[in-house]
Chain A
Amino acid sequence: MLDLPDPDNPVVHVHTRAHGGLGTLSRRALDARVHAGEVAPDDLFWISGLTEWCEIRHHPELFDDLAPVSQAPSGSSEVMDALTDRPGPRPVETLEPELLDSPGHTVASVGHPSSPTPPAPSAAFSLAEDESVSFAHRTWVPEPIEEEPIEEELTEEEPIEDEPTEEEPIEEEPHSWHELPPDADALVPTDTALGFDDESEADENEFPAPSPLDPVLEAVFTELLEATWDYQEAHEFAGCVDEVFLGAIMTSVLDAGRLLIDLSSDGTHHFLRFEHPEDNSRVLLRLTHLTGNLTTSRVQGHMASVVVGYGERVSGFGDIWARLSSEPRSGLVPREQPGALVADGDVASQYVYVQVRLYLRIDDYVAADWSIDHDRLRDHLSACVRSLRAHLYGRLR
C-alpha cells in the first residue's frame, strides 16, 4: 500500500517516454496531465517509499481521493480504463531500436548532480544483455532483473531524454566518470554534492529519499566499519598505553601521599616529579615506552623503561658532592645500565638523588580492557622508593 503524499505536494517524480523527465509534480497536477494526454498511463512515476519506478496505470490509488478533473479530454474514459486495467507488457517486437542508445536511460549515475535524483528507470538493465548496444558511456551495469516488463517496453520505444521542464529545470545527469561534476568522484563527497546546505533543509521534501540500500551490501559496509573500529581501537590502545601508565603512576604516587610538582615530555620520554609535603623528599620518574606500536607490543607485550629516582635535600651538600665526585669514573661502565643504582646531585636545589633504571611490563598494571591495578603499582613503586632511600642513606652516612 502506497503512503500517498498530500494531493498538492509536488513530490511525485514523473518520467514519460515521450518527453522524458517532468520533474516533480503533485498528484493533482499529475492527474490533470494524465487527463490532458500529456502523460500516458504506462509512463513511470516514483515517490518516496517505492523501491523502483512504477507505471502509473498500476497505481490508480494515486487519484482515488482527488476530485474529478473538470475539463476532461475526449479520451478520458480510455485513460481511466487504462489506469484501472493492468494489461501485460508490450511485445518486444513493437519496441523501437533507437531507444537503445538513449542516454537518459542508462544506469543511474554514481556521481549525482547537485540535487539527488530519484532512482533511474530500470530500462538499462536489459541493455546489458544486448551486445549490439554501445556501452561507451556506462561505467557499471547491474545484473539484469528478470520479470521486468518495463525493461522491454522502454528498450524499444522512442528515445527518452531527461529534459528540464519549464517549471523545474533539472540539471542534466552526467553519464560517465569523465562527465561527472568535479566533486562527484571525490572519495568524500562534499556537502554541496550531497545537497546539504542550509537552504536545502527547508526544502527537504523536494528531494526524494535515498533508494533503500541492499541489506546485504549494507551489512557488508557495517562489517567493514566494525572491523575498522576494532583495528583502530587496538592501535589506539597500543599507542597510548604509556600515557595510561603515566596516569596510573601519578595516581599511585599521589595515593602514597605525594604531590605532583612537575610534568613534562620531550616527545619520547615523560618526566614526572613528586614531592612529599611534609619531609620534602622527592621522587623523579622518567617513562619511556619501548613498544609503541601494535606489532611490537603483540610480540613483546607492552614494555616501558622507567627511571625512578629518590632524593632528599641534605645539609653539607658540598661535602657529599665532593665525595660523589671522587668515585672512580673510567667511562668503561655505562652508568645508566638497567638495574644499576646511581647517585647524583642537584647543586641548585641541594638535593642528592639515587636513581635506578627498570624495565617494567605495562601489561602487569594495565589490562587490555583499560583497567588498572593501582594497588599493585603503588606497592611496586613504594618498594622502589624504599630501596632507593635506604641506598641513599647508606651513601650519605
Chain B
Amino acid sequence: MRVCVPCARTSTVASADFQFPLAKSPTAQAVVVRDLISQFRQKADIHESRYEIGIGEVVRAMARLGYPTVSFRLQGEGQLVQFRAVGHPTLYGVHVVFERPSGGAVTRAMVGSRVVLRITAEARCRSADSAVLVRLARSSAHRESAESFEGEIRVEREVSSLLAHTCREIDLDDHVGKGANGTRTLVGLLRTTIEALAAAIGHHKGLSPVR
C-alpha cells in the first residue's frame, strides 16, 4: 500500500519524499528533509531581498570593526541585530534596528533603496561605588547634535546602562555590489556613528566607569 504523506508546510516545495512505499512513520522524516528549503518564502528575484541584503552588509561591516552579533530578533516592524562592542573602551554593545519600509508599492518606489538604521550604543555601569550608582540613577536624559554627521543623539539611562540613540539613513546602492569599496564606506559610516554615540555617552553627567 502506498502512503501519501501530505506536505507539512503550505509551501510550494515538492519533494521526492511525498511517497513512501514501506514507510512506518515517514511524516517526521519528510518534514525534516524538506524543512530547510520550505523555510524560505519565495521571491521573484533578488531585488525583493533588499532588506535582508542590508542586514547582511551591516553585519559584515560590524564584523570588520570587531563587533560580533549576539542577537537577532524582530522588534516592531524592524529587525533588531545586537552586537557586542568587544574591546571598545566605553561601550558594552551596539544595537541596530533595520526599519522595514512601510507603505505600499508607490512608497517603496519613492524610498528606493534607502534603509533607515536606528543605532543605539550602550555603556554598562560596572561600579559598586554607591556614589557612582546614585549619580547614575539620578541622571536625566540629554540631547546633543552629532558633530560628525547630521543628526541628533539622545542619551538616557536605563537600569544600569547609558544608551545613546540616533538614526542613520543609508542607500544600499552605495554599498551593495560595490565590492570592497562599498563595504569600506559602510564600515566608515558605522564607525563614525558609534564613536559619536560613545562620545555623547561620555558627555552624560551620570557617566561612571564601565567594565
Contacts and interface: CB of A to CB of B under 8 A. Distances in A.
Contacts of B25: 331
A246 B72 contact: yes
Contacts of B79: 263
Contacts of B49: 259-262, 275
A270 B70 CA distance: 13
Interface string B6-31: 00000111111111111111100100
A346 B16 contact: no
A175 interface: no
B19 A286 contact: no
Interface string A314-334: 000000010011110111101
Interface in B103-128: 126, 128
A248 B13 contact: no
Contacts of B34: 344
B63 A372 contact: yes
A27 B14 CA distance: 90
A276 B145 CA distance: 40
Contact of A218 (B33, B36, B128, B177): B128
Given A330-B23, A344-B16, A243 B63 contact: no
A347 interface: yes
B29 to A, nearest CB: 6
Given A229-B126, A260-B55, A251 B46 contact: no
A335 B29 contact: yes
Given A247-B59, A248-B63, A254-B60, A264 B39 contact: yes
Interface stretch (A15-23, A74-82, A348-356): A348-356
Contacts of A229: 126, 211
A321 B57 CA distance: 35
Which of A196, A265, A332, A348 neighbours the largest number of chain B CB atoms within 10 Å of its CB?
A348
B40 A264 contact: yes
A115 to B, nearest CB: 15
Given A325-B19, A330-B23, A270 B72 contact: yes
B137 A210 contact: no
B102 interface: no
B130 interface: yes
B101 interface: no
A25 interface: no
Contact of B21 (A248, A262, A330, A374): A330
Label chain B's interface by main secondary structure: mixed
A244 to B, nearest CB: 5
A34 interface: no
A254 B37 contact: no
Contacts of A346: 12-14, 37
Contacts of B70: 236, 240, 243-244
A225 B128 contact: yes
Interface in A235-293: 236, 240, 243-244, 246-248, 250-251, 254-255, 259-266, 270-271, 273, 275, 277, 280, 284, 286
A277 to B, nearest CB: 6
Given A250-B60, A259-B56, A260-B53, A273 B69 contact: no
Contact of A277 (B19, B22, B46, B126): B46
A370 B40 contact: no
Given A213-B130, A262-B40, A347 B16 contact: no
Interface of A: 191, 196, 201, 210, 213, 218, 221-222, 225-226, 229, 236, 240, 243-244, 246-248, 250-251, 254-255, 259-266, 270-271, 273, 275, 277, 280, 284, 286, 307, 309, 321, 324-327, 329-332, 334-336, 342-349, 353, 355, 366, 369-372, 374
Given A210-B130, A324-B16, 5 more contacts: A243-B69, A250-B56, A250-B69, A275-B49, A344-B16
15 contacts: A229-B211, A243-B69, A243-B72, A244-B70, A259-B53, A262-B41, A264-B39, A309-B36, A321-B16, A325-B18, A335-B32, A344-B33, A344-B34, A345-B13, A348-B42
Interface of B: 11-26, 29, 32-37, 39-43, 46, 49, 52-53, 55-57, 59-60, 62-63, 66, 68-73, 79, 81, 84, 86, 126, 128, 130, 134, 137-138, 176-177, 211
Closest 3 CB pairs of A and B: A260-B56, A247-B69, A331-B23
